[in-house]
């Protein structure tokens, strides 16, 4: 199969012919139809995530059609559409896994980092960490929901029934969660880098009640806030 390989961090991806993977007992083989590019992929390429499998096929926003099934697969059938996210395996037994915080598992494994991802014609993934893709979404539309969408959804759920939502940092994940929050009837207050007028207008276009700089106070008290901005001074 054709794939884009990362041989070493800080080197360009290389077009290559690779063996087509075979699904394990709990895995599905997917014919890849779309795979998004996320910031984490760039961190892997740049060597900022320091323990990748090498050579590596990047890509963790994967949408594909099931081509083959491992012998224990029950969640999918051949021909189904499935999505593969960043998290691709955990121990299932630690305190984090047992309370629904699998992303904190110390034995967690990640797609396009420790397991080959979706920058290829085919990939394999554990059925337990795949999502069924509704027909209402095209392959390309669904791809970004498998990371940027999941990040926002996890954060939004943790906010409970907060009505006035502050969102710090207005990028890929944030613009998705802002739309979901508005759909749920919440008020969104968007905070951007000082002077980023374009991002503030983008937030307003998506229905934000207010948009301003991260060093400003909102016009009303917030019930909850989600921090996406990589700025430590904002944490307090």
Q: Do 53 and 106 belong to one domain? A: yes
Of the three residues 128, 151, 174, the one that is the final residue of a domain is: 151
Closest C-alpha to 85, from 114, 104, 63, 54: 63
Quote the pLDDT of residue 200: 95
Quote the pLDDT of residue 30: 98
CATH of the domain at 199: 3.40.50.720
Quote the pLDDT of residue 229: 84
Q: Do 25 and 109 belong to one domain? A: yes
Quote the pLDDT of residue 53: 95
Q: Do 89 and 189 belong to one domain? A: no
Per the structure, the complete domain to which residue 214 belongs is given by: 159-234
Quote the pLDDT of residue 19: 96
Of the three residues 151, 185, 219, the one that is the final residue of a domain is: 151
Residues 67-94 pLDDT 10s: 999 999 999 999 999 999 999 999 999 9
Quote the pLDDT of residue 231: 82
Quote the pLDDT of residue 147: 92
The total number of structural domains that make up the chain: 2
Positions in the chain whose pLDDT score sits under 50: none
CATH of the domain at 55: 3.90.180.10
Q: Do 144 and 176 belong to one domain? A: no
Strand partners, 191: 168, 212
């Amino acid at each position: 199969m054709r794939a884009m390989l990362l041989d070493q961090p800080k080197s360009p991806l290389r077009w290559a012919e690779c063996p087509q993977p075979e699904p394990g007992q709990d895995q599905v083989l997917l014919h890849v139809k779309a795979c998004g590019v996320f910031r984490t992929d760039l961190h892997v390429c740049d060597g900022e995530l320091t323990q990748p499998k090498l050579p590596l096929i990047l890509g963790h926003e994967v949408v594909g059609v099931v081509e083959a099934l491992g012998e224990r697969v029950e969640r999918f059938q051949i021909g189904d559409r499935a999505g593969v996210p960043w998290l691709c395996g955990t121990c299932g037994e630690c305190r984090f896994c047992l309370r629904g915080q699998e992303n904190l598992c110390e034995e967690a494994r990640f797609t396009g980092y420790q397991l080959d991802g979706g920058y290829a014609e085919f990939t394999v993934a554990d059925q337990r960490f795949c999502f069924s893709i509704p027909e209402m979404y095209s392959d390309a539309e669904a791809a970004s929901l498998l990371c940027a969408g999941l990040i926002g959804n996890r954060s939004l759920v943790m906010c409970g029934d907060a009505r006035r939502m502050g969102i710090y940092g207005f990028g890929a994940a944030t613009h998705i969660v802002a739309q979901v929050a508005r759909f749920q009837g919440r008020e969104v207050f968007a905070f951007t880098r000082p002077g980023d007028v374009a991002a503030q207008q983008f937030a307003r276009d998506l229905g934000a009640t207010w948009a301003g700089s991260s060093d400003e106070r909102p016009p009303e008290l917030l019930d909850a806030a989600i921090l996406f901005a990589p700025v430590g001074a904002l944490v307090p």
